Chains A and B, each alone.
Chain A
């Protein structure tokens, strides 16, 4: 079940998007997220869809990979959609007793679904085309200014990249422990919240213990390799803006301007 989450998994292929500076991709993602909440009419979304598909095509990541991230939250999406559909007040189009579907409800549900799906695909593109290290480098250099107000930017970036590195390992571990406990007769599909929570104990305790053990080992291994915080550290892949990155910013701001204009006109 956890395996379906594509967030934080890098897809290795050589493409323009992969080669872009991570800062550009971070800014792009940010503006994309703002855009999907600014846009609230079909034309705006058609424009965003075109942008999204253009980027997916440029990234050379198979479309199925992007969609995989959606599988795990499909239930959540549907529930949210249904809530919007049935509980938005307005002009009813269908009515069964107290239950009604309004035109505003349909609109809200569709808008919400599209926004959520685009949000996930948008962020997936970033993580699929950027290695966690690039991503954290991007965050680190992009947010360097925050150092002056004593935000430990380097430490936060390092924690993020380590967390991302260990997600797949802990996924496998979860799988293994689950199987081991099932072999001892445990079942993880108990009825009721209390039973379900109880059934998780044999899974979560070993998982925490293992996470701590790994953290301990990793800290030791990092120290042994002279890690001593961000001070005096050089970078293997320092970030330099190139022509294509400048072009990237140009496209981002251009597209964002279009979104704003479309929003104002319609």
Chain B
């Protein structure tokens, strides 16, 4: 079959220029890439941030023109300016940020934008818009404002906007990086369905490994080169090679790989849970009735009021808007102790953001009391500013708050607001930047010149520099690639383990929470439903599912095995725990 997309020795170089316009240095973002995509395929391109995958994607849409080599889309060379519009029509593109790619203020008008640009007659625009919106399941929302949609829904509208141009191929450039797990699933399912039912060629660029499992072919990029290619199974059987490119594999694949290394007879590149279960049951038949699982009675730390930093006593937050009341928080009583490492889980809109903002007084409570070190923070003479510096809050995408000329000055902003003099503030800033392992030679760099991961470190340092007694982080890993995610989480764990900080981590990644925290609180409809160690909380598999939350996939696996009659302890929540359990029972 004739390939729909073909790149031959594609090279793209970025020229970095100084102020006079002289070339300072040349970065090769894409380096001799050869790619053949056949019609109807589902292709995934993997790579860490800066590996050149997005630059490659922009070539397919003629947003970038190759420095060397050629890109042929549907038989047309992108270098020819006359082909620009036809190429963009055939290869539609969906971007990362859901807000920044919707042009119109009504869903249907946005879907009509593309067809309008290529001169489709009015009646046909409507037909296409209807077809496209139905194709992504957003037809009922056609009259809505995009601002009222969730992230996943916005991305589906963006996909419909591309579909309405009737392209042969859709390129999705990290479409899920800014979404929560529900939104991620929505978008990937939509892409798969379009591929299967309408035969649209899909090119998915991502760093979430779970998303590429169903693709026909996977390309891995590093330093602008394609370093691995093959079926998902072929790619995922090379766990160590992937790790060397700063990528991780799905939990189940990782578990199977470790078990195989331990000498168990398992196939290469296990992709899904049922696959691993099948392979395991071939090794050993279930031993009949499930034994009693060895009880892992964990000693509960005695909660004495002396250890408490923050106490929430029957706290409620109610918003009134136009006569309707929304209960963002509903009768929440919690105690947060010195040295706790807490993970707060809940899906978007569950009230977790409101909860953490009541802790430092950014959102005043409408019922109940919040006590900080034994004092009610709603008292009139309570120093709110001091509270905000003692209960440090790192918001989502904290790098968006950077504003100073240098990183050091930016980190000094907090300490200076506390009334410290320049020298003391500088010392604090230095200490904080060291704590987040920020490279010393970039202390005087502009925060706007840094890479994504470094910006985030600088922003986190900006909060740590105030030496807060409690640090709250809202989705600190959002939008980072696997390597960046592990670094930031490692950093947070280090702060807790080494310096004994009290840390509250808000996340919707169950895997992260299971791996790092000591205590998990699940919030739903503004009320905590579970509060305990990750093992305790994740043992409520079906209850969590009914709340729309998933447990780590290894927990699912052990649950299934337990149900089948294997005497495994179903409470394991990390890959390492699961490995030990399976080795104990199957080994």
Interface residues of A (CB under 8 A from B): 10, 12, 64, 131-133, 161-162, 164-165, 168-169, 173, 176-177, 179-187, 201-202, 205-206, 209-210, 213-214, 217-218, 220-228, 232-238
10 A-B pairs besides A186-B417, A221-B93, A235-B116 with CB distance below 8 A are A10-B105, A10-B145, A185-B418, A218-B100, A220-B95, A233-B116, A234-B125, A236-B108, A236-B112, A238-B122
Closest B residue by C-beta to A62: B322
Within 8 A of A (CB), among B44-95: 61, 63, 85, 88-89, 92-93, 95
Establish whether residues A226 and B63, one from each chain, have CB atoms under 8 Å apart when the complex forms.
no
Q: How far is A242 from B64 in the complex, measured between Cα atoms in Å?
A: 45
**Given A220-B95, A224-B88: A165 in contact with B103 (beta carbons within 8 A):** yes
Q: Which residue of the partner chain, among B395, B448, B466, contacts A180 with CB atoms under 8 Å?
A: B395
Q: How far is A197 from B388 in the complex, measured between Cα atoms in Å?
A: 22
Identify 26 residue pairs between A and B in the complex whose beta-carbon atoms are under 8 Å apart, listed by A's number. Answer: A10-B105, A131-B106, A132-B105, A161-B104, A164-B105, A165-B102, A176-B395, A179-B362, A182-B362, A183-B388, A185-B389, A185-B418, A186-B417, A209-B400, A210-B400, A213-B100, A221-B103, A222-B103, A225-B113, A225-B117, A226-B89, A226-B118, A234-B120, A234-B122, A236-B108, A237-B122
**Given A180-B401, A217-B97, A220-B63: A12 in contact with B129 (beta carbons within 8 A):** no
Q: How far is A100 from B389 in the complex, measured between Cα atoms in Å?
A: 51
Instruction: Report chain A residues within 8 Å CB of B89.
Output: 226
Q: How far is A164 from B109 in the complex, measured between Cα atoms in Å?
A: 14
Q: Indicate whether B414 reaches chain A with its CB closer than 8 angstroms.
A: yes
**Given A183-B360, A218-B103, A234-B121: A224 in contact with B63 (beta carbons within 8 A):** yes
Instruction: Report chain B residues within 8 Å CB of A224.
Output: 61, 63, 88, 92-93, 95
Q: How far is A205 from B400 in the complex, measured between Cα atoms in Å?
A: 10
Q: How far is A131 from B120 in the complex, measured between Cα atoms in Å?
A: 22
Q: Indicate whether B526 reaches chain A with its CB closer than 8 angstroms.
A: no
Q: Indicate whether B190 reaches chain A with its CB closer than 8 angstroms.
A: no
Chain B contact-residue range equals 35 or more
Establish whether residues B401 and A221, one from each chain, have CB atoms under 8 Å apart when the complex forms.
no
Establish whether residues A202 and B362, one from each chain, have CB atoms under 8 Å apart when the complex forms.
no
Establish whether residues B115 and A236, one from each chain, have CB atoms under 8 Å apart when the complex forms.
yes
Q: Secondary structure of the B side of the interface?
A: helix
Establish whether residues A206 and B401, one from each chain, have CB atoms under 8 Å apart when the complex forms.
yes
Instruction: Report chain A residues within 8 Å CB of B385.
Output: 185, 187
Chain A nearest CB, measured from B78 CB (Å): 13
What are the nearest 5 A-B pairs in CB distance?
A: A185-B417, A236-B112, A217-B100, A221-B101, A205-B403
**Given A218-B100, A218-B103: A235 in contact with B122 (beta carbons within 8 A):** yes
Q: Indicate whether B343 reaches chain A with its CB closer than 8 angstroms.
A: no
Instruction: Report chain A residues within 8 Å CB of B389.
Output: 184-185
Q: Indicate whether B4 reaches chain A with its CB closer than 8 angstroms.
A: no
Closest B residue by C-beta to A173: B400
Establish whether residues B116 and A234, one from each chain, have CB atoms under 8 Å apart when the complex forms.
yes
Q: Which residue of the partner chain, among A131, A218, A233, A238, contacts B119 with CB atoms under 8 Å?
A: A233
Establish whether residues A232 and B105, one from each chain, have CB atoms under 8 Å apart when the complex forms.
no
Q: How far is A161 from B105 in the complex, measured between Cα atoms in Å?
A: 8
Instruction: Report chain B residues within 8 Å CB of A227.
Output: 113, 117
Q: Indicate whether B413 reaches chain A with its CB closer than 8 angstroms.
A: yes
Establish whether residues A217 and B95, one from each chain, have CB atoms under 8 Å apart when the complex forms.
yes
Q: Indicate whether B346 reaches chain A with its CB closer than 8 angstroms.
A: no
Q: Indicate whether B398 reaches chain A with its CB closer than 8 angstroms.
A: yes
Instruction: Report chain B residues within 8 Å CB of A162.
Output: 103
